[in-house]
Structures are given as structure tokens and as C-alpha cells.
Amino acid sequence: MMTLKLQTVLGPRASEEELKNHRLRYTWPALCFGGAAILLVVSIFFPYWSLTLYAPQYPDNLVVHAYVDRVGGDVAEIDGLNHYIGMRPLGEAAQLEKSVSLIGIPALALLVVVAIFVHSQWTVLLTLPALTLPIIFLLDLFYWLNNFGQNLDPRAALSNSIDPFTPTILGEGLIGQFRTVAIADVGLLMACGASVLILVGLFLQRQAYKPLVEQNQ
């Protein structure tokens, strides 16, 4: 009974002869999932999002980079500007997310690796968190940008010079006299690439193992 339950979870296994005759059919899904897992882990070391601030008094511009675990770039200068309009320091945003990301993302990658050995509907559940990571990151980013921009300190020196606002999450925007350009950076593009590989892997795995399921039935 336990063996039957385990087989239901893990899905069908291809025979040695089947693997020999159609090796690529069963190898491609594993390559896709493995590649996705690698991209996810490597993405940790690159910024997921960057914002460039253009202003005449800053000829070299100001840039802030959002990694999954920290904020880098010209943070001190931008925090100084934000202080005058009553916005909280950037480092205060997403503290919980940043504290768990260095463990959470590798854990998502590990689930994708486990999915290589599961050939049932459980594969989708195992890969779903990693598949949706880019969307979750952007939604979380929007939440914090909106939270910070809409809750300005009325006691700030220049609080009357600007209305509450939501910074642009992607693309060009305006904050007072400053023009901003926000982009998805290397880390987020890697995570998106991982999502594409997962989708392709799910499709190829279904194409490979569906005949075996029908044969067993």
C-alpha cells in the first residue's frame, strides 16, 4: 500500500529500454529544471531592481540597486533627499523579506531540483513558488514603494512641496523635480528566465510521461 501511494506521488518511471531509446525525451525536462534552479541561486548575487534618479545638481545621476537581501548604490544621498520630503530611509523597507531571502530562494531552487524526480501533478506544486517568484517580487516592491510614498512625514522640511505619491515600479516617472527610470535588473531577469525554463520543463515532462501514465492505466 505504501509503495502504491509513493508511486502515486512520484509518478511513473521509464524502463531502462525506454530511457535508452528516447533518452533526450526524458533528459530535457531535467535540464530545464536544473537550469532554472541554477539561475535562481545565481540571481541572489545580482540586483533585482534598479532606479536611476536624474537631476541637474547630480551630473552623474543617483542610482539605487535593490538586491533580495539589501539595498545598494547611492542610498545615503537618496535617503538624504527623501528626508526633506518626509520619506523613510530605504533600508527600512521589506526587512522580513530581506532576512529570509538568502535561505528562501535556495529553498525554492531545491524544490525545483526535487521536481526532476517527481513525474506527477505534484511537480506543478513543487515548482509553483519558484515560477511565481518574479511576480511576487514586483508585487512586494510595489507595496513598499507605495507605502513609503503615500505615508510622508508632514513634519518634514519640504513636506508641503510634494503630494503623496507612488514611485514608478518600472519605466519612467517623476518625483517632484526629479526624473526617475526604474528597470528590472539582472537578478530579476534571471528569475524570469528560471520561470520560463520551469514552464518549458513542465510541458516537456508532461509530454514525456503522459504516455506512461496512460499505459499504466
User: What pLDDT digit, counting tens, does each position of 48-75 carry?
Assistant: 999 999 988 888 999 999 999 999 999 9
pLDDT band at residue 1 under the 50/70/90 scheme: very low
What is the rounded radius of gyration, in angstroms, for the C-alpha atoms of the chain? 23
Taking residues 181-201, what's their average pLDDT? Answer: 98
C-alpha–C-alpha distance, residues 102 and 2, integer Å: 36
C-alpha–C-alpha distance, residues 202 and 208, integer Å: 10
Name the pTM for this structure.
0.90
C-beta separation of 33 from 113 below 8 A: yes
What percent of the chain is predicted at pLDDT more than 70?
92
Taking residues 71-86, what's their average pLDDT? Answer: 92
Beta strands in the chain (DSSP E): 49-55, 58-66, 71-73, 171-175, 178-184
Q: Pick the closest to residue 162 from 180, 174, 147, 146 (CA basis).
A: 174
C-alpha–C-alpha distance, residues 182 and 50, integer Å: 6
Fold of 22-216: Butyryl-CoA Dehydrogenase, subunit A; domain 3 (1.20.140)
